Amino acid sequence: MTEPAARILFDDGHLRVVLQPAEGKARGTLLTFADLTFRPDGTRAWGMVPARRLGLDLIGIVSHAPDWYPARSVEAAARAVRPFVDARTVAYGYSMGAHAALKHARRLGVNHALAISPQYSIDPAVVPEDNRYAGYFRRKLHAGLHIDADELPPVPVIVADPYHREDGAQARAIMAAGLAHWVPAPFMEHWAIHLFRSSQVLGEALDTVLANDPLALRQLLRRRRQTHVWHRVVAREALRRGHEDRATHLREGALRHGCDPALLRDDQRELVPMMLRRFFEDGSWHRLDAAWSRYGAVLSGAFDPLQEVGHMLTAAGRGALAEPFFRAALDVRRDIAHVHGGLSVALSAQGRLREAVDAALAGRGWVPGDAALAVLAGEALLEAGEPALAEPHFRAALAPEEVDSATGPRAVERARAQAGLGRALAGQGREAEAVAALRRAVALDPQAESHALALATLLRDTGAAEEALLACQGLLARHPDSEAARRLFASLAAAPPTRPEPPPPTTAAQGGGFLSRLLGRG
């Protein structure tokens, strides 16, 4: 038998309405509203395949834009839709389409609606917990976008995750607006639509809606949890919340139910860094300690999560744990300066100074033009007691020679390079040049305590007591709680200085501003 041809019933440039008749006598009618990503394309409509398999007539409404189906647009299409609606019609949609199914079913003469992960409104002032779609909100276009109680059809059924922050807030707002049946889809996040991917399950769900039997729908979805989709989605949520053992158990269940292992690996690559960052921000640093043994293999080959975890572990003072992540990241890409820098800092934190120098110099070879990496190489050499070798790296970071009047991050970067140059020159006994470099560093970044402290210390040790006192007073004015500055101020009243000693460098293990910048980039 020839399949009935779909045809366009209506299109005004805002909405397109497509009719696909069932093959033979229809069991009912499915009226669908397409989601955010679906656009008009000939006679295609959202939900065509399951409608055909279920023997349902399909009325598919597709928006030309991500506009959440404004009421005036739907009113314009209503005359074309109503003649094909009957008592066994269910309005059905997901996300943006779910909002429309609830808001417009009654307007189109439909008494039943099944809304999966719907929005009550995309106005962030109305549902402040959800700003996912705030960029699509237009106050004039979306006046009255929220769902009023008198707009809901007689049998409105919503399926949403009560534990998902945004979807849960939207569902609660809908329930507050009017009487609706909320069938929970726990831990499905915004993926509750996956519970209905089977045409058979969708057909059974539509029957429960037509029968106004939400309890039967709840039981149906509970049975759906014995699938790889449910196990995978709940494993994602467990991992996001830091329940590692539960996530492992659920992934095993997903595999038993036929889930593609690649999907589970991709989930871990996405969510493990998020979980570890949560531990880091909460101060639960001990939970970072098993990161490599638990997740090194699954993250292998994934540059972004490897380097991100490496930087987190370094910032948590776990250089030895960070090292394998940086090395694995460099096995994937060697042209990213801050990863070479991270490895150098991690090695320095372990006291492996020569290896830290080698890592920084290797990075300079791969990314020769990166100023921050040049500074780190210089600092690593200073810590290793090689001021003469450090000097050219600081000068490279300052090239091309610019007038040192930059502002913002560029000034801070140049200040650190000037301070490093000053320490390198002081270490070679070139005090006058060192003082000049440190003065430039302080001028570029007056808030950097270490630069001002190094300058004041060098002035004291070279016999310039009055200048040292002025520098120290300025330092205390900016950092009144600095114990180092107070001790230095007290020392200026002591006996005349002996032969100058070079000031101690800021160590690469401390990371300083470079590590802070790395974490900002991670």
Instruction: Determine the Cα–Cα distance for residues 494 and 102; give it in Å rounded to an integer.
Output: 82
Q: How confident is the model at residue 211 (pLDDT cuts 50, 70, 90)?
A: very high
- The alpha-helical segments, DSSP class H, found in 350-430 are 353-366, 371-383, 387-398, 409-427
Q: What is the CATH number of domain 386-521?
A: 1.25.40.10
Average pLDDT over residues 255-262: 94
Looking at 100-104, 134-138, 508-512, which range is the least confident one? 508-512
Q: What is the pLDDT of residues 59-72, one digit of tens each?
A: 999 999 999 999 99
First to last CA, the chain: 59
Q: Is the pLDDT of residue 517 over 50?
A: no
pLDDT band for 282, please (50, 70, 90 cuts). Answer: confident
Residue with tokens 């656009």: 39
Average pLDDT of 321-340? 95
Tell me what percent of the residues of the chain surpass a pLDDT of 70: 92
pLDDT at 519: 40
Contact 309, 291 (CB under 8 A): yes
What is the torsional sign of CA 415, 417, 421, 427? positive
pLDDT score of 4 more than 90: no
Domain covering 7-225 in this structure, CATH number: 3.40.50.1820
**Integer Cα distance of 397 and 364 in angstroms:** 11
Show the CA angle centred on residue 505, arms to residues 501 and 511, nearest 5°.
170
Q: Residue 88: pLDDT above 60?
A: yes
Cα–Cα distance, 337 to 367 (Å, whole number): 6
- Joined together, the tokens standing for residue 116 give 């999966």
The edge-to-edge listing of strands for the beta sheet with 29-33 is 7-11, 15-20, 57-63, 29-33, 89-94, 112-116, 155-160, 181-184
Residue type, 94: Y
Q: Which helix (H) or strand (E) holds 305?
A: helix 303-315
Map out the domains of the chain as residue ranges: 7-225, 386-521
DSSP output for 92-107: EEETHHHHHHHHHTGG
Coil, strand, or helix at residue 427? helix
β-bridge mates for residue 116, sequence order = 94, 159
* Whole-number Å distance between alpha carbons of 364 and 516: 20
Instruction: Give the residue among 250, 210, 246 at the shortest CA–CA distance from 229.
Output: 250
What single-letter DSSP state applies at residue 20?
E
3-state SS, residue 77: helix
pTM: 0.57
**Residues with Cβ within 8 Å of residue 503, at least 6 apart in sequence:** 423, 426, 453, 454, 457, 458, 461
Label residue 469 by pLDDT band (50, 70, 90). confident
